Amino acid sequence: MSGENRNKGNSGLGRVFFGIIVSLICFGVFAYLFSMSRGMDPVDKTIVQLSQIAVLVGIFFLVLTFGHALPAYIAGKKSKGGTQATDSRDIFVEANMRLALEKFIPDGETMLAGIHAAVKESSVTCAFKDCVLTEDKLLPESNGEIVSVSKTKYSMYDLYISVTQNYFVVADCLENRYLYEFDKKPVKSLDEIKPVTEEILLRDVGKCFRLEDIQSCDVKKGMAGSLNCVLKMKNGSYFKLILPKTGGIGGGMPNHEKYRDDIVACLTAGLR
């Protein structure tokens, strides 16, 4: 079976190269005829007709080449099934998603399901103690302050979301900019304050939430099979999410729809 697929792949690749070569020859003929016609007044009708034919044939073979190349590219993506990490900018690959999420999953927890989501708006508030706030991070300090960090974004962006046995975990698909606000005052409940024992980058704040801290999860049907989800936490943090039915094109996230349904079931399980 693998030999047959290899032969098919080689055959498709040969057709792509053949189409490119024919297109280049046709455009070369057009360029030659165009150079011949410069200075002619009037231009020979035969040269005009031949030029038109050369351009049309060249365009035809370019379109034909694209038609062969695109399915081959998609098939190659599907053959990986999202199990191999690729360029980190390719956000619709399951392996890339796992790499992004794993750094925020607590010890002893396992990711049960993860997907790509679009975020319309989000606001996260976290409180820390025994720390010192610098320009872009929190540093541990035994006699440090209590710092409340508010992290908000009002424009649309891409986000990976996942659930473990006890947590809702998120990670940026790409680098994002957030609006940060800081308040060096105690929060309502001391239980919400986390001690800082190691350096915490501000961009990594608000990535992990206990499932028991979810206040509400409102899910409604959206366009093209998507789901609109408004997730609110007990401390006031929230995410306004669009959960698409599929994870992009190319098969990089083959389990996206199933994982999406699993995540929604998990987020709403304790709220019914």
pLDDT along the chain (272 residues), means of 10: 43 66 80 71 72 80 69 49 57 91 94 95 93 93 90 95 96 93 66 87 94 94 92 94 84 87 90 56
C-beta separation of 142 from 132 below 8 A:
no
Choosing from 33, 52, 80, the residue where a domain stops is: 80
pLDDT attached to residue 1: 40
Q: Where are the beta strands (DSSP E) in 101-191?
A: 113-133, 137-140, 145-153, 157-163, 167-172, 179-183
For the stretch 193-215, pLDDT in tens is: 899 999 999 999 999 999 999 99
pLDDT attached to residue 41: 64
Cis amide prior to 42 (ω within 30 degrees): yes
54 & 104 share domain: no
Amino acid at 38: R
pLDDT attached to residue 89: 65
pLDDT attached to residue 32: 75
Q: What count of other Cβ atoms lies within 10 Å of the Cβ of residue 176?
A: 14
pLDDT attached to residue 84: 53
C-beta separation of 126 from 152 below 8 A:
no
- Does residue 86 fall inside a structural domain? no
pLDDT attached to residue 4: 40
63 & 117 share domain: no
- Does residue 181 fall inside a structural domain? yes
Question: How many structural domains is the chain composed of?
Answer: 2
Choosing from 25, 53, 80, the residue where a domain stops is: 80
Domain that holds residue 188: 94-271
**Could you write out the DSSP letters of every residue in 42-91?**
SPPHHHHHHHHHHHHHHHHHHHHHHHHHHHHHHHHHHHHTT-S---TT--
105 & 71 share domain: no
135 & 72 share domain: no
Per-residue CA distances from 69 to 39, 41, 83, 247 (Å):
40, 42, 22, 22
24 & 65 share domain: yes
- CA 111/CA 164 separation, integer angstroms: 5
C-beta separation of 264 from 136 below 8 A:
no
Per-residue CA distances from 144 to 44, 49, 150, 152, 202 (Å):
87, 82, 19, 25, 17
- Copy the structure tokens of residue 120: 């319309």
pLDDT attached to residue 79: 42
pLDDT attached to residue 212: 93
75 & 118 share domain: no
- Does residue 259 fall inside a structural domain? yes
- Copy the structure tokens of residue 47: 């040269």
Give the predicted TM-score (pTM) of the model: 0.67
